[in-house]
Amino acid sequence: MLSVDSVSASYGNLRVLWDVSMSAEAGEIVSIIGANGAGKSTLLKSIMGLVRTQGGEIVFEGTRVNGVAPHTLVAMGIAYVPEGRRLFPEMTVRENLRMGAPRRCPEVNERLKFVQDLFPVLEERRFQLVMTLSGGEQQMVAIGRALMAKPKMLLLDEPSLGLSPIAFEKVIGAIEKINREGVAVLLAEQSSERAMEISDRTYVLENGRVAGSGLSDELLHDPMVRLAYLGVGT
Ligand SMILES: Nc1ncnc2c1ncn2[C@@H]1O[C@H](COP(=O)(O)OP(=O)(O)OP(=O)(O)O)[C@@H](O)[C@H]1O
Ligand SMILES: [Mg+2]
């Protein structure tokens, strides 16, 4: 469904991705783990057309998408939840959700229902200002807004950021449910263990390079990965 082949990216003279290759198939949850500054967010931004890439190729459903504008990618079926959520805090839950739907979208009510069935709390709080929601609820709004575009693939950047373990668990449950509805998920996470537990495959980024990849189950039990990325001994 999505393939990234030998893609590099820089900020000015600072190169942060080096020949990164990865893929995600329909129906999969794929996690991207790595330390602070490893390049997880830059990889998602590169896919989403928010960072210009050098060399290589990004292909979504058979179409080369390097340099394609973010709104075109959304229309093609890729939705993105940025790190830090980037909501409109002084607008209501409902208004924020509507922002995620295309203009003059005839299915907007149907999509709102899908999101509110997934996150019933957002239905209860539909007229509440986003700034008054808890962190977990705000993350649900951010994911809900992305789902309003009816994506085939969802890119999630660090959904655990600022959340309590309990709130993050709710988000994890929602990610699994979204995936069961047929949406492929690319999940960049520093809370690597949970991300790996719910994903089919994992890519480990280290200093902008893919340092390892494989079935999440296998990597989770790999002593090297456990020590280096999960901070636990064997
Ligand atoms: N807009 C920017 N301008 C310059 N350098 C940047 C910019 N954004 C990121 N970088 C640098 O690129 C590198 C990779 O950053 P990136 O945000 O992709 O890492 P990350 O893996 O998402 O980290 P984190 O876990 O902290 O979110 C870092 O060294 C960072 O300082
Ligand atoms: Mg990041």
Mean pLDDT by groups of 10 residues along the chain of 234 residues:
97 95 97 94 96 95 95 95 91 94 85 91 93 92 95 96 90 94 95 91 96 94 82 62
Strand-pair category, 184-189 with 29-33: parallel
pLDDT for the residue 215: 97
- Reduced to 3 states (helix: H, G, I; strand: E, B; else coil), residue 112 is helix
The protein residue whose alpha carbon is closest to atom 5 in ligand 1 is 11
Ligand 2 centre to CA of 57 (Å) is 22
Counting ligand 1 atoms within 8 A of each CB, the residue from 41, 156, 187 with the most, and so the one to mutate, is 41
pLDDT for the residue 226: 81
Contacts of 180 (CB under 8 A, 6+ apart): none
Reduced to 3 DSSP states, what percent helix, strand and coil does the chain have, rounded to the nearest 5? 40, 25, 35
Spell out the domains of the chain, with CATH numbers in brackets. Answer: 2-229 (3.40.50.300)
Q: Which atom of ligand 1 is nearest to 42's Cα?
A: 18
The predicted model scores a pTM of 0.94
